[in-house]
Structure 1
Amino acid sequence: MAAVEQNSEGIRLRIFLQPKASKDAFVGLHDDELKITITAPPIDGAANAHLLKYLSKAFKVPKSRIILEKGELNLHKQIFIPAPQIIPQEIAHLLS
């Protein structure tokens, strides 16, 4: 399974999340997952909430529509982004 998959309904990301980083960023591939760093700590769901907010801004999709499919309590996550308005350059590069 690829780190990034696109179909007619949206984009599915397999993510390796690094919380408590110095900045929010798409880092690149980490094994077969997309590595994303975020500044929020992994406490009481703060990292997940921050990740969804970051992806919401990056893909121009309302935060409430992004689905955390797997990995709520894990650094390895699977997220579905329905009908993204924009595809960030770092992600578009992985799709080509």
Structure 2
Amino acid sequence: MSNNLTFLQLKGSDVLLQVYVQPGAKNTDWAGEYGERIKIRLNAPPIDGRANAALTAWLAEQFECANRDVDVVRGANSRSKTICFKNAEARFEKMRATLLTIKNTD
């Protein structure tokens, strides 16, 4: 397997994560790769922004960030989303290692 994570990028001091979300799942968890994105099964309905709120809160927990530092910057009404972790440059390598583990167990 490749160690290249096209879905994780460092942009200045921010980290961008390309995700594909499956809302309404039984549990929230990583679900491997989906094209050029990482797939996440999300236990939240896609109604009134609840899925986006649940997604950012879950990702903040996964990568030990404050909720306020995690935003959906593209694709708020789509399953394909770009998530921005503000000022997360110091966490980039740890995020990369976590995602590599997920990718390689897929």
Choose which of 78, 91, 95 in structure 1 pairs with 2:99: 91
Deviations 1:16-59 (A, max 9, x none): 00001111111111011110111000000000000001001001
| Partners of 2:99 and 2:27 in 1: CA distance | 18
**Gaps (5+ residues) in structure 2?**
none
**2:41 paired with 1:33:** no
Larger deviation, residues 44-53 vs 23-32:
23-32
8 Å CA contact retained: 2:7, 2:19: yes
TM-score (norm 1): 0.83
Residue 80 (structure 1) aligned with residue 88 (structure 2): no
2:27 corresponds in structure 1 to 23
| Cα distance between partner residues in 1 of 2:46 and 2:97 | 27
Report the Cα distance in structure 2 between the residues aligned to 1:88 and 1:9, rounded to whole angstroms.
15
Pair 1:44 & 2:48 matched: yes
Which has the higher Rg, Structure 1 or Structure 2? 2
Whichever structure has more helix as a proportion of its residues is 2
Greater CA drift, 39-48 or 62-71: 62-71
Name the TM-score, length of structure 2 as normaliser.
0.76
Q: 1:56 aligned to 2:64?
A: no
Runs (5+) with no aligned partner, structure 1: none
Cα RMSD of the aligned pairs, angstroms, is 2.3
